[in-house]
Structure 1
Amino acid sequence: MPVYTCTTTRSALTASTKAALAAELASIHSRVNHVPSEYVNVVFYALPEEDVYTGGRPAAPLIVDGWTRTGHPDEQVDQLVREIADAATRVTGVPAERVLVIIGNSPARFAIEAGRVLPEPGHEDAWVRDGTG
């Protein structure tokens, strides 16, 4: 259901750090938004150092761009973005000043997974259990 895209430079994260961050993002999202962690997708883009800039200068930020379904309470989204930012710093060692977390959303009906339109927030259990979407 949710997708998190983590972008940084090639040399910024090791394979084991990526695995640890992916596990942490899945855990946080699952707990905060009540979605089974096996539905949380995490993708890493590791770009050449000469392709990443902040303020017009070469940099190595960690950008975590997430997508969720519209309809989660604001408090949940606030908690999600804070916990993800904290985890990104804790797991990767990238300083908080270089971590950017963005959570965007759109209606559940704008996405299909496993051949089914995603459920509205709060209807995940039925969607997972019986596959009726």
Structure 2
Amino acid sequence: MPVYTCTTARSALDAPTKAALATELASIHSRINHVPSTYVNVVFHSLPEEDLYTDGRPAAPLIVNGWTRTGHPEAQTDQLVREIADAATRVTGIPAERVLVIIGNSPARFAVEGGRVLPDPGQEEAWLRGDTG
């Protein structure tokens, strides 16, 4: 259901660190938004160092851009963004000042997974049983 895209410089994260971060993101999202972690997608974009800038200068940030379904309580989204930022720093060693986490959302009906339109938040159990579109 959710998608997290992590963008870094090529040299910033090795394969074990990416795996650890993906596991952590799945765990956090699953716990806070009450969906199985098997539905949490994490994608890494590793760019050449000369392709990442902050303030017009080469930089090495970690940008985590997430998408979730509209309708989760505001407190959950606040907790989600904070825990992801903390985990990103803890797992990768990238300083908090270099970590940017953005959570965007749109209605569940704007996404299809496994051939079915995603359920609204709170309707996941019925969706997982196949009781809804």
Please classify the TM superposition score into its range, dividing by the shorter chain length: over 0.9
Report the equivalent of 1:103: 103
Deviations 1:62-105 (A, max 9, x none): 00000000000000000000000000000000000000000000
Q: Give the share of equivalent positions with the same residue, in percent.
A: 83
Query: Which 4+ runs in 1 deviate beyond 3 A?
Result: none
Deviations 1:6-62 (A, max 9, x none): 001000000000000000000000000001000000000000000000010000000
Amino acid at match of 1:32: I
CA shift, 1:131, in A, is: 5.3
Where in structure 2 are there 5+ consecutive unaligned residues? none
**For the residues of structure 2 that align with 1:76 and 1:115, how far apart are their CA atoms?**
27
CA shift, 1:129, in A, is: 1.6
Please report the TM-score for the alignment, with normalisation by the length of structure 1: 0.98
Report the equivalent of 2:72: 72
Amino acid at match of 1:14: D
Report the equivalent of 1:120: 120
- Aligned residue pair count: 133
**For the residues of structure 2 that align with 1:11 and 1:23, how far apart are their CA atoms?**
20
The two structures, once aligned, show a CA RMSD in angstroms of 0.7
Where in structure 1 are there 5+ consecutive unaligned residues? none
**For the residues of structure 1 that align with 2:111 and 2:132, how far apart are their CA atoms?**
15
